[in-house]
Amino acid sequence: MKLPSMKAAAAIFMLFLLISIVPIGIAVQWGGGAGFSIPDWELKWETSDVCDPAAAAEAPDSEWVQADMDSVRPSAPADASAVWFRFPLPLTEERNPALLINKVTGHNLRAYADHKLIYESQDLMNYDERKVLIPLSGTEGHSWLYLWSSGDGQGFGIEGEITAGNYGKLLEYYVKQNLPDMVIGAAFLFVGAALMGCLLFLKLDFFKGGFFLVLVIVSFGVLFITYSPFLPVILHIPDHWTQTCFDLALFTLLPSFTIYFEQIFGAGKHRVITKLRKFQLGYSLFCLVFLIVNAMLSYRLDGLYRIATVDFLGLLMMAQFIYLLFVTLGAAFKGNRDAVIFSAGFSVFALLSLTELILYYANNSYHLQWWKWGVIAFVASLILILGRRFAGNHEQVLEYSRDLEKFNDDLQRSEKMEIISELAASVAHEVRNPLQVTRGFLQILGERSDKKEKEYLQMAMEELDRASLIITDFLTFAKPGMDTLDRFEVAEELRHVSGVLVPLAHLQGGTIELNLESGLQVLGSTSKFKQAFINLIKNAIESLEEDGQITVAAWRSGEHIIISVRDNGEGMKMSELAHLGEPYYSNKKKGTGLGLMVTFRIIEAMNGSIQFQSRKGEGTEVIVKLPSAAKK
C-alpha cells in the first residue's frame, strides 16, 4: 500500500477540519433562545434627521402604524429619512435586563426611556443588517421604550424578532448564535496559512496555482468573520472597519477565484473565461478606488457605492456563477475527475448563492445565511482537488525516480557491453588464427602417433574446438546485428532447433514439446535466431532433472510474436535472475555466461525483449517478445 505524501495528508486533514465544523455550527444555530419575545410594536416615519424623543412621545396615536414580528416592515414614504419605534418596556424580574433586536438597518440607532438616552450606536453601514443588544438597567419605573433609526433612502429600521431577558443570558445566546461564523472564518484563515506554508516548498508553477487558491480560502475566511455581527457587538469594532474588510475580501475573492478556475479548466470557448478574468480584475480595481474615495468623503457616496458594489456586483456574480457552473458540468460529463469534484462543490455553492441572491433582490429585507454552508462545501472540494494534485505529483515523482533508476541501470549495462564488445572484437580475431594453426599441427601429429598419444591429442583438439566456440560467441556478442534481414516463419525455425536438441534432451532424461501457431513471421537473420534459441533451450535442458519436460510455444499478441520456453527444472533464485545477461555471470560450473549474453544481444538487435520468470525447485520460463513482420 502506498502512503500519501505529506502535502496530500495535510490537504486531507484540512478537509476533515472544515467538514467537522458543519455539525458544530448547525448544533449551535439550532440552540434555544434565552428570553421571551415582544410580539408587536408601533412605528412612525420622520422627514427630518432631528432626533426629538419628546416630540415623538407627544405625537398623536393616528401617526403611529401597528407592526409585528411576523409581518414585513411597512414601506417608508419617499420623503422619509428616519423612523421611530415604540413599545411598552417589558416587565421582567431579571436583574440586569436587556433587549436583543434581531435585525437593524441604517446609519444610527438610539434608544430612549422617558426622553433619556440609554443606548446609541452610530456609523452603522447603510443597509447592513445586524443584531443589537440594548441594556435596560436603570429603566425601572418607565413605561415606554422609544427607538430611533435613520439612514439614506429607505434602508433603515428594525424588523423580525425582539427578545427581552437577562443581559448575560442574551449575550451568551447571541455569542452562540454568531460563533459559527467566527469559527468557520478562523478555520479558513488557518487552512489558508497552512497551505501557504506548503506552497513555499513547491516550484514556481505549482506555487502560482496554489497561491490563488490560498487567496480564495483566506477571502472566504475574512467574509465569514466580517459578515457576522459578532465583531461590532462583542468587540465594539466600528461597522465601517468591518464593512471595509468585507468589501476588500470580496474584491480579492472574485478575480482570484476566476484565475484559479481558469488554471483548472483553461481559457474556455472563445476565451470567455480569460475575458471574464480580465474584466473581473478591472472591476475589482475600480471598486477599490471607489472605496477609497468614499472613505475620504466621509461615506457621503454610500448610495452610489452600494449600486456599484452590491447591486451591479451581485448581478455580475449571478451571471458568473451560472456560466462557470455550465462549464464545470460540461467538463464533468467528459470524464474529468477534478471537474466532477469541482462541479459537485461548486454546484452546492452556486445554487445556494443564486437562490439567496434572487431572494435578496426580490425582498431587500431577506438576510443572507445559507451561502456559508455552500462555501464550506465548495472550499472542501477545492482542497480535495489540491490533495489529488499533490498525490498525483508525488506519484509522478516516484515514477520519474523509477524511470531514472532504470535508465541508469540500462546505461551502466550498455557501457559494460560496449567495453566488452570492443575487447571481444579485438581479441577474438587475434586468437582464432593461432588456434586454427595449432589444431592443424595437432591433427598431423595425431596421424603419426600411437593409440595412447592419439587419445591425448584428441582431448587437446576438443578443448581447442571449445575455445573456438567461445571466440565465435565473442564475435557474435561484439556484432549482434543482422547481416541480412529476411522474413521467416518462427514455427519452422523452432522445429529445426528442436530437432537438433532432442537427442541432447533425451540424454538428460527429458522431452521437448512444441505448441506453435502457424503464420507467425518475424524479420531478422535465421542463423542468429536459431543461435539464440539453441542457447535458451540448451540451458533449459541442462537444468532438467528426472522426468524433465520443456515446452516451446509461440503465438500472436497484437502486433507482436510471443515465444515461450518453459521447463520444470531446478529453477533459479531471485538473486540469480537479477544477474542474468551480465558479463561472465553463469550458474553453471563450466559456464562463461557468453551464451546468454549473445542471446540478449540478438533479441535486442531484432527490436525484441526477453524476460525470465523462475522459482527455485519449480522451473523457469523465458518469454521472448518480437515485432511481427506478417504481410498485411
Is the C-alpha dihedral spanning 150, 156, 159, 165 positive or negative? negative
From residue 502, give the alpha-carbon distance in Å to each of 455, 494, 498, 541: 29, 12, 6, 9
pLDDT given for residue 12 in this prediction: 47
Could you please report the per-residue DSSP string of 430-450?
A: HHHHHHHHHHHHHHHHHHTS-
Provide mean pLDDT across the span 38-54: 84
CB 89 within 8 A of CB 145: yes
- Looking at mean pLDDT, say which of 15-29, 374-388, 409-423, 490-504 comes out highest: 490-504
Alpha-carbon span 146 to 115, nearest angstrom:
8
Q: What is the pLDDT of residue 594?
A: 66
Rounded CA gap, 255 and 235, in Å?
A: 31
Nearest one of 578, 571, 573 to 618, comparing CA atoms: 571
Residues whose CB falls within 8 Å of the CB of residue 359, separated by 6 or more in sequence, listed in order: 366
pLDDT > 60? residue 564: yes
More confident residue, 165 or 521: 521
Question: Is the separation of the CB atoms in 57 and 90 below 8 Å?
Answer: no
Q: Dihedral of the CA atoms 234, 236, 239, 241 (nearest 10)?
A: -110
- Among residues 383, 380, 475, the alpha carbon closest in space to that of 425 is found at 475
For residues 78 and 154, give the distance between their C-alpha atoms in angstroms, rounded to a whole number.
8
Say how far apart CA 477 and CA 533 lie, in whole Å.
15
Banded model confidence at residue 26, pLDDT cuts 50, 70, 90: very low
* Confidence bin at 411 (pLDDT 50/70/90): low
- pLDDT-derived band at 140 (thresholds 50, 70, 90) equals low
Q: Nearest-CA neighbor of 102 among 206, 168, 178?
A: 178
Grid cell of 188 as nine digits: 479558513
Beta strands in 167-240 (DSSP E): none
Q: Identify residue 536 by its one-letter amino acid code.
A: L
| Coil vs helix vs strand at 546 | coil
Which set of grid coordinates corresponds to residue 136? 435596560
Please tell me whether the overall predicted TM-score, pTM, comes out greater than 0.95 for this model. no
**Can you state the percent helix, strand and coil of the chain, rounding each to 5?**
60, 20, 25
Q: Which helix (H) or strand (E) holds 260?
A: helix 239-265
How many other C-beta atoms are found inside a 10 Å radius of the C-beta of residue 506?
12
